Copies of this chain bind each other. A is one copy, B any other.
């Protein structure tokens, strides 16, 4: 017996035919039964082979319409994968946040959509690498009124605060929108960070959205000369997205 299972080898042969144009893009493959006869395998084996090619984005199948070639090559999806919700909040975990202000505000600023009518909670904080030391990031977060009860439970320093909120709110995060901008720091930011007034900053803004609406909207200000937003996109074949890396990386 060969090392590779039969459906695997058949998958390779069909892939080769697509690559060399025997089965052109947009064309229709022979029906399962015909392919079974040609390769002398059962329908299970052939379907397993075709399933792999569908997962790779090369084929598309529909009842009666048949199996059409979608792409000449396996899908090369460049993916910045963030595997878990925890990784989304990695920054919160890695660093130490000290709350310096907390108040109610009528609505968050643009570009946050004020989909929640009630008053919002605004929390300002400073991030440090260690509990002691100079802060490197000014954080301003907005939490809608409907979640304020949860948010207010943990005062003072809070590490995996966001993750707790997402978990407790029972609103699974459906989407995250991130926007990066740059410009002169607002006074609140540079003064809190102990920097001169003309400091150039980079602002990483994230909105964590559930089905209901905004869960958290956060603005993170960094000193531009000391900050690089780095992201790596890996070539990932097939359905199993590799362990992605990414996210903000401080740089000296």
Check if A177 sits within 8 Å of B79, measured CB to CB: no
Q: How distant is A77 from chain B, measured CB to nearest CB, in Å?
A: 6
Q: Is A81 an interface position by the 8 A CB rule?
A: yes
Interface residue ranges of A224-241 to B (CB < 8 Å): 224-225, 227-235, 238-241
Q: Is A91 an interface position by the 8 A CB rule?
A: no
Q: Is A176 an interface position by the 8 A CB rule?
A: yes
If A76-B85, A82-B78 touch, whether A229 touches B183 (CB-CB below 8 Å) is: no
Q: How distant is A70 from chain B, measured CB to nearest CB, in Å?
A: 11
Check if B83 sits within 8 Å of A180, measured CB to CB: no
Interface residue ranges of A195-252 to B (CB < 8 Å): 200-202, 224-225, 227-235, 238-241, 244
Q: Is A174 an interface position by the 8 A CB rule?
A: yes
> Oligomeric state, in number of copies?
2
Q: What is the bound-complex CA distance between A231 and B229, given in angstroms?
A: 12
| Contact digits for A58-91, partner B, Cβ 8 Å, 1 yes 0 no | 0000000000000000011111111111001000
Pick from B181, B228, B241: contact of A224, CB under 8 Å:
B181
Q: How distant is A183 from chain B, measured CB to nearest CB, in Å?
A: 5
Q: Is A160 an interface position by the 8 A CB rule?
A: no
| Contact digits for A161-194, partner B, Cβ 8 Å, 1 yes 0 no | 0000000000011111111111110000000000
Task: Write out the residue numbers on chain B whose beta carbons fall within 8 Å of the beta carbon of A200.
Answer: 182-184, 200
Q: Is A55 an interface position by the 8 A CB rule?
A: yes
Pick from B83, B182, B232: contact of A175, CB under 8 Å:
B232
Check if B172 sits within 8 Å of A79, measured CB to CB: no
Check if B76 sits within 8 Å of A235, measured CB to CB: no
The contact sample of 16 A-B pairs, CB cut-off 8 A, is: A76-B172, A77-B82, A77-B241, A79-B79, A79-B80, A79-B241, A80-B80, A88-B233, A177-B230, A181-B202, A181-B224, A183-B200, A184-B200, A202-B202, A238-B239, A241-B241
**8 closest A-B pairs (Cβ-Cβ)?**
A239-B239, A182-B182, A182-B224, A180-B229, A176-B233, A78-B82, A178-B231, A182-B202
Extra contacts, 14 of them, besides A77-B82, A78-B176 (Cβ < 8 A), are A55-B239, A76-B85, A76-B172, A77-B81, A77-B83, A174-B234, A177-B230, A178-B232, A180-B231, A181-B229, A182-B201, A183-B225, A184-B200, A239-B239
